[in-house]
């Protein structure tokens, strides 16, 4: 029978259990298995019952021979039940490309701190998001530690090496800026008005004027737009996997939001709706199958990557500073600050659940604001 115990950690109170797991064939002594890290006693009891059943059925595995891939499979089978399909796809991709090729075949007991540091250094030489790769790889080690498969976590004290872009001179931000100035925005929208379809022009315009995420804008239907109240509602996101389009709930509660629309955006949306109705009459678009505002000619949703490709093509053709689709969100926030919006207003409009996200990412993004600070100080001093 299992025994249970509460203990303290830096993260608060946790539970562990101990259970007699039989006789060690080499020493003849009884073995005790301890598993820890459970948030509640009930969670520990559930795990203990499962382990007892494995012992009774002879299913207990020899931990010494378990590979990283074995533990990944165990961890992900549980973790996948708690996350969205889009997150599953992202995590699976990171493990498949970066983590499992380096750790998968190794036995857990043989993986050292030195090896983990070497692998993180290697990954850092190739991609910028190395910290996220480390976090994901560490999830498996933490699970193994919790299950007493390993006694220490070799990834725990691994450091992230400084990347070259982090040690550039202070004035060299050309490789880091992922937003456009007001002038660059004006130039870009003049280009899209002339060179792309009305659908794409309206889409790019809304990215800039709403700060919405890509999945949020691609998921809106005409019912989400209230022309009388001058507003748009974001309450879902479009996700594509294995050629299938799925709607899912937003990342956080704050992502469900109703925001105001300016008259220019509303007028563009009216033109797009009229254009779609005209195309339906000309049988150029299948409106019957159309659940969304922005679709392909057959009424199916736009590919997420289509927008990235279109933006990259236009930036290259007109020699614009390169940004990502997410850079429009940064741009919207920076221009809101320039217009005098408060941190709270920007947080609510962008759907950030934590105000620190808004402060950390956007309060320093434009040179204009830095210049305004000096100007305000000068005007104040001149009043003395």
Q: What are phi and psi of 287, to 5 degrees?
A: -70, -25
Average pLDDT rounded to a whole number, residues 47-61:
71
Residue 130 pLDDT class (50, 70, 90 cuts): confident
1-60 fold: Double Stranded RNA Binding Domain (3.30.160)
Q: Of residues 20 and 236, which shows the higher confidence score? A: 236
Q: Which residue has the tokens 């193994």?
A: 144
Average pLDDT rounded to a whole number, residues 353-365:
67
Q: Where are the domains of the chain?
A: 1-60, 64-167, 182-326
Yes or no: say if 292 and 215 are a contact pair by the CB < 8 Å rule.
no
Q: What are phi and psi of 31, to 5 degrees?
A: -105, 140
What is the distance between the alpha carbons of residues 15 and 11, in angstroms, rounded to a whole number? 12
pLDDT tens digit sequence for 206-258:
999 999 999 899 999 999 999 999 999 998 888 776 667 777 777 677 788 99
User: Is residue 283 exposed (0-12), middle (13-18) or buried (19+ Cβ within 10 Å)?
Assistant: exposed
10-24, 142-156, 189-203: least confidently modelled range: 10-24
pLDDT for residue 298: 77
- CATH class of this structure's domain 64-167: mainly alpha
CATH number belonging to domain 182-326: 1.10.443.10
Q: Is the pTM of this model over 0.75?
A: no
């Amino acid at each position: 029978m299992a025994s249970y115990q509460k203990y303290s950690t830096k993260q608060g109170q946790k539970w562990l259990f101990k259970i007699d797991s039989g006789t060690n064939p080499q020493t003849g002594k009884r073995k005790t298995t301890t598993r820890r890290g459970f948030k509640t006693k009930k969670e520990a009891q559930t795990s203990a019952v499962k382990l007892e059943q494995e012992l009774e059925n002879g299913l207990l595995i020899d931990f010494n021979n378990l590979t990283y891939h074995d533990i990944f499979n165990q961890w992900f089978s549980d973790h996948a039940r708690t996350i969205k399909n889009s997150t599953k796809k992202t995590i699976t991709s990171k493990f498949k490309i970066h983590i499992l090729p380096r750790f998968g075949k190794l036995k857990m007991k043989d993986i050292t701190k030195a090896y983990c540091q070497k692998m993180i250094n290697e990954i850092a030489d190739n991609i910028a998001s190395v910290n996220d790769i480390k976090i994901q790889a560490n999830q498996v080690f933490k699970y193994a530690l919790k299950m007493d498969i390993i006694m220490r976590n070799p990834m725990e004290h691994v450091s992230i090496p400084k990347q070259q872009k982090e040690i550039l001179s202070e004035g060299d931000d050309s490789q880091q800026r992922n937003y456009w100035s007001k002038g660059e925005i004006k130039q870009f929208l003049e280009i899209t008005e002339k060179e792309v379809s009305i659908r794409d022009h309206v889409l790019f315009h809304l990215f800039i004027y709403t700060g919405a995420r890509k999945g949020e804008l691609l998921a809106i239907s005409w019912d989400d737009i209230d022309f009388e109240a001058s507003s748009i509602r974001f309450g879902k996101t479009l996700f594509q996997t294995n050629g299938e389009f799925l709607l899912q709930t937003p990342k956080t509660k704050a992502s469900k939001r109703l925001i105001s629309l300016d008259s220019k955006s509303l007028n563009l949306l009216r033109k797009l709706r009229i254009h779609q109705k005209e195309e339906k009459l000309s049988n150029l678009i299948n409106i019957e199958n159309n659940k969304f505002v922005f679709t392909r000619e057959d009424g199916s949703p736009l590919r997420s990557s289509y927008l990235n490709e279109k933006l990259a093509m236009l930036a290259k053709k007109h020699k614009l500073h390169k940004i990502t689709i997410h850079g429009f969100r940064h741009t919207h926030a920076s221009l809101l600050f320039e217009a005098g919006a408060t941190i709270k207003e920007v947080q609510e409009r962008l759907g950030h659940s934590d105000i620190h996200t808004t402060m950390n990412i956007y309060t320093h993004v434009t040179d204009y604001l830095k210049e305004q600070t000096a100007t305000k100080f000068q005007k104040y001093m001149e009043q003395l």
